[in-house]
Amino acid sequence: MRPDRPEDEKAEYRRFVRAHHPDVGGDPEVFAEGIRRFQAARDRPAAPIVFVRRRRGLPGLIDSLRARHRRRHRPPRVR
């Protein structure tokens, strides 16, 4: 069920929906199971998701101003 290209995967999903959607006479249980299969087969992010908590209030404001200053006053990347 894992085609090599995303276009093939999208086309396979659309064919399934057109054939099994309850609005066109398909079985709702078969449709729901097929949707679950497609959702389970989707690619997951390769890198772990990381949440960053920033300081709030005056310390957070000072941190953001310092970061902005560093970004604006760093040497150019292109020479």
C-alpha 11/C-alpha 73 separation (Å) is 49
> Three-state SS string across 38-75, please?
HHHHCCCCCCCCCCCCCCCHHHHHHHHHHHHHHHHCCC
DSSP state of 73: T
Alpha helix (H) residue ranges in 21-56? 28-41
Per-residue model confidence (pLDDT) at position 40: 83
Per-residue model confidence (pLDDT) at position 4: 56
Q: pTM for the whole thing? A: 0.48
Q: What is the mean pLDDT of each run of 10 residues along the chain (79 residues)?
A: 68 93 91 90 78 94 97 89
Q: Report the sign of the C-alpha dihedral through residues 37, 39, 45, 49, in that order.
A: negative
**Counting beta carbons within 10 angstroms of the beta carbon of residue 17, is it exposed (0 to 12), middle (13 to 18) or buried (19 or more)?**
middle
